[in-house]
Amino acid sequence: MSEAGAPPMHKTRLYIAGAFVAPQEGGSFPAIDPATETAFAEVAAGTAADVDLAVRAARQAFDSGIWSELSGATRAAMLRLVAKGLRARLAEIAALEVRDNGKPLPEAEWDVGDAAFTFEYYADLAEARDGAAEEAVDVGDARFTASIRREPLGVVAAITPWNFPLLMAVWKVAPALAAGCTIVLKPSELCAMSCEILAEIIHAAGIPPGVFNLVTGTGPAAGQPLAEHPGVDKVAFTGSVATGRKVMTAAAAGIRTVALELGGKSPFVIFADCDIDKAVEWILFGIFWNKGEVCSATSRVLVERSLYPALLARLTEATEAIPIGPGNAPGIKLGPIVSQGQYDKIRAAIAAGKKTGARLVTGGDRPEGLPRGYFLRPTIFAEVPTGSALWREEIFGPVVCINPFDSEAEAIAFANDSAFGLAGAVMSDDLARCERVARKLRAGIIWVNCSQPTFTQLPWGGVKSSGIGRELGRAGFEAYFETKQITRFDPAQHWGWYLDTAP
């Protein structure tokens, strides 16, 4: 509740069938500012009944053809209006994401700009598809003509995470809408505020009712019913491996398409011939950007032994100098962890790591001068046992593990010894070596002499326990189509297998 004399807190709404509505059961839960540990809004708590309405709206909209049968150019024009709306409200959305998630303001501004560009990129692809949806195929028999069509697959259930609240939602919403699908979005209950603004912008852009729907709520109350709903044709999920398994199980029961972008424990292999300051800069960016709440974070750093002592010393110095504080404060590079629950999980992982024999080099505790909020000093562990949970399991926070290696082959073996395979990075002035290592790292995303740059034009996704399928790029667009073959027999010809119908 609001404090006495304070204006009432904003209450978010669901967006179903082109209208902003309250949940049928009227529930809500607080949005918590991780920098202050106080509530600043009330989030609509949708349930299975709301999910059912949203899926039915999306189903009706898809089956009616009001969106899928429009030309790509027509859809593209509306998607560009969404992009324009995001840019017009960039400052507002970024400030809200800082308050909801805790990330530094410049990072939030970057995210909103990327979200707008994603709509523009998929608008271009939608427009380019006009006239190219059907491909003729020569089957070698003159009596038949055949073609292959790529058609929008139907109703999409999008379940998205809290670390990039708007951007991760847009990674699914933009290509799905561009392809002609309809969608129900269920963002994480920890950070759902900016998705209501996305719904407002989509509504203002004139996208028809039912094409885009938003249901906020918890995973059990809203996410699970959405993943299990029989009216859904595809479930697109980004989140933890544990929840991904549940989503995949639910999708399997309905024999529907599933795309999973799950966790990671990505390696960063650094050879001794590279510039030490460049290496440190990319290590910092690879693990402390967005507070380490990044699925692709290069949290396992492998350093050639001759460089290891000097790099570790320089990295420690740079890490201890990172400005920490509320994300809306000037100059801040590390904001608070997103929630009390995530904060506790990271602290527990650090405590467990200390017991493994790993050396805590720096961090691991609350910074001085910040008694309130989910703040945590960026943390470095060195000489980490490679069988420990600290080395092998995703922490999803500002914690990096560093070990030395002696040869290229050893580094590759260490890097690939993981249940995950989302991303990996290699750094060396020897570009031929970089290319060799890049080809041998088993992951869906490889960075050479950098870590974490992400481009909408390139596919995103992993192997092994890091997921199934790809987002972004053309692959992320094609993922929202089904393939249909149409084979036509010339009516002037005669088949005559069972009946002799020849004249």
Catalytic annotation, residues: 261
Calpha distance 58→158 (Å, rounded): 12
Choose among 95, 92, 34: nearest CA to 335.
34
Q: Which two tokens stand for residue 6?
A: 């304070």
CA 263-469-251 angle, 5° bins: 85
Task: Please state, in angstroms and as integers, the Cα–Cα distance from residue 438 to each residue in 276, 423, 431, 443, 445, following that order.
Answer: 20, 10, 10, 9, 9
Which stretches of 393-495 are DSSP H helices?
408-416, 431-440, 473-478
Asked if 183 and 212 touch (Cβ cutoff 8 Å), the reply is yes
Neighbours of 84 (CB within 10 A): 16
* DSSP character at residue 324: B
Calpha distance 270→298 (Å, rounded): 12
Choose among 182, 206, 224: nearest CA to 56.
182
Choose among 232, 242, 236, 230: nearest CA to 259.
236
10 Å CB burial of residue 230 (0-12, 13-18, 19+) is exposed
Calpha distance 319→181 (Å, rounded): 45
Token look-up 């949940």 returns 23
Q: How far, rounded to the nearest angstrom, does the alpha carbon of residue 423 sit from its chain's CA centroid?
A: 13
Token look-up 């529907």 returns 256
Token look-up 């028999």 returns 141
Grouping H, G, I as helix, E, B as strand and the rest as coil, residue 360 is strand
Nearest-10 Cα torsion for 218, 222, 225, 228: -80
Choose among 412, 401, 317, 308: nearest CA to 356.
401
